[in-house]
Amino acid sequence: MSSPILKLIAQRIALGILLLLAISVLIFAGTQILPGDVAQAILGQSATPESLANLREQLGLNDPAYVRYFHWLGGVLTGDLGTAMSSGQDIATSIKGRLWNTLFLAFWAAVVAVPLAIILGLIAVRFRNGWVDKLISGLALASTSFPEFFIGYLLVYFFAVKWQIFPAISTVYDGMPFGERMQAIALPATALTLVVLAHMMRMTRAAILNVMQSAYVETAELKGLSAFAVIRKHAFPNAIAPIINVVMLNLAYLIVGVVVVEVIFVYPGMGQYLVDHVTKRDVPVVQAVGLIFAAVYISLNIIADIAAIVANPRLRHPK
């Protein structure tokens, strides 16, 4: 790999770190301006002024905001995410299992959604403006129009209540057999697949159609190559950069956008963990989960950028 590519990769990574640092400031500031008193929320309305003052001192709430921020950031950089106020449990330990569950769910949703979206996009291009293209585009548009909670409840109604094929509640636990775990995540993974499938398919179709208007594609068609051969040899390789970009953005959504789906199926992932502690006003948990979501989103965007640079030589020499 040549040095210009390494320089571009280093620039992307440095920019990502700066962006994550800026987001950490926003997350911390956002949780500090929330209404209410954290000490009061922990001790309840019957707490005495003395006990409230002692807890505020213990939690460091009397320190200036910038002191608390750097104390929190220092802990994050050393792997110490703090302790949950509502349960007293170590946040890093609690998040470890939750994050694994969310990644497991997102992985299997991506395994189904990514190849299926690309194949449907290629088929739509091959039969563009025909009934196959219109059918695929119509179904994709309909899928995009439905919010994920609606899709989730439809799946629960038909596959869990009416036909009783899959469980309505996606309970998973450590040591659970692989087959049972896959059955438990079938409905939430299907909901996530339907949510991201349409977007990826439409972007794949648009990217390839854009390349199909190029002169070299017309030349390939004039040489007598079949439509599939033109798409496979000339259009798809040149449209791979925007396709990778949209795939990575949707993979990021599968991880950070699972809150609604996890709540519907009571799936023990990061989204459910976040919602549980938002209702308890557990600020350290909200800060930790928010920062992890931001780190995942930024990391996948950096990977998308790097993949696009490697796949498209024109991006290595910006003018």
Q: Which amino acid type is present at position 292? A: I
pLDDT of amino acid 6: 82
Q: Burial level of 152, CB count in 10 A (0-12/13-18/19+)?
A: buried
C-alpha of 186 from chain center: 18
Would you say residue 23 lies in a domain? Answer: no
Would you say residue 207 lies in a domain? Answer: yes
CATH code: domain of residue 264: 1.10.3720.10
pLDDT of amino acid 22: 95
pLDDT of amino acid 197: 86
Would you say residue 256 lies in a domain? Answer: yes
- The count of domains in the chain is 1
pLDDT of amino acid 319: 54
pLDDT of amino acid 304: 83
Q: Burial level of 182, CB count in 10 A (0-12/13-18/19+)?
A: middle
C-alpha of 30 from chain center: 21
pLDDT of amino acid 226: 77
What's the pTM?
0.82
Number of H helices, E strands in the chain: 16, 0
Per the CB < 8 A criterion, the answer to whether 207 and 243 are in contact is yes
Would you say residue 288 lies in a domain? Answer: no
Would you say residue 298 lies in a domain? Answer: no
pLDDT-flagged residues of the chain (< 70): 1-2, 35-38, 41-42, 312-319
Would you say residue 263 lies in a domain? Answer: yes
Structural domain boundaries, residue 245: 95-279
Give the total residue count for the chain: 319
pLDDT of amino acid 181: 92
Would you say residue 10 lies in a domain? Answer: no
Q: How far apart are CA 113 and CA 191, in angstroms?
A: 11
Chain segment 116-149, per-residue pLDDT in tens: 988 888 888 888 888 888 898 888 888 778 888 8
Chain segment 26-67, per-residue pLDDT in tens: 998 888 777 666 677 667 777 788 887 887 787 777 788 888
| Beta partners for residue 90, in sequence order | 83
Would you say residue 315 lies in a domain? Answer: no
